[in-house]
């Protein structure tokens, strides 16, 4: 198999008012686990170019079982908050300063301080 389980469908909604298919579990050492790109909670939009819209759960399972050896998935990653507010990706607003905005000026200040110290010690 592909090494993961799915939930959802028109007859077994995983999320209220959402007929989508989601990854519920990834088998350790299975194909999806070894590939490393798929994550639990991902919404699967299509398999091998076939959209998974408005399918019953058993019909979606059948598509996965008959997918063949080479499988192409189109997924939508579900962002999950890490002890904080809900994250909205791509809404044009920054959630805070990038790490480089803090590190680069700090490194410049440190390098300048070292340069001044070395110049001062040479004069003594």
Q: What is the pTM of this model?
A: 0.63
H or E stretch covering 29:
none
**What pLDDT digit, counting tens, does each position of 71-107 carry?**
999 999 976 655 655 544 444 444 444 555 555 565 6
**What pLDDT digit, counting tens, does each position of 4-46 carry?**
999 999 999 999 999 999 999 999 999 999 999 999 999 999 9
> Which residue segments constitute the domains of the chain, with CATH numbers given?
4-76 (2.30.42.10)
CA–CA gap between residue 26 and residue 17 (Å, rounded): 25
Per-residue DSSP letter, 10: S
**SS3 of residue 4 by DSSP:** strand
């Amino acid at each position: 198999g592909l090494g993961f389980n799915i939930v959802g469908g028109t007859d077994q909604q995983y999320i209220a008012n959402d007929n989508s298919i989601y990854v519920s579990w990834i088998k350790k050492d299975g194909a999806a686990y070894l590939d490393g790109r798929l994550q639990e909670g991902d919404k699967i939009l299509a398999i091998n170019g076939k959209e998974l819209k408005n399918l019953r759960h058993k019909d979606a399972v059948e598509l996965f079982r008959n997918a063949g050896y080479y499988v192409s998935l189109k997924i939508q990653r579900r962002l999950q908050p890490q002890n904080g507010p809900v994250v909205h990706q791509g809404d044009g607003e920054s959630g805070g300063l990038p790490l480089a905005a803090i590190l680069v000026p700090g490194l410049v200040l440190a390098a300048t301080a070292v340069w001044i110290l070395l110049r001062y010690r040479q004069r003594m």
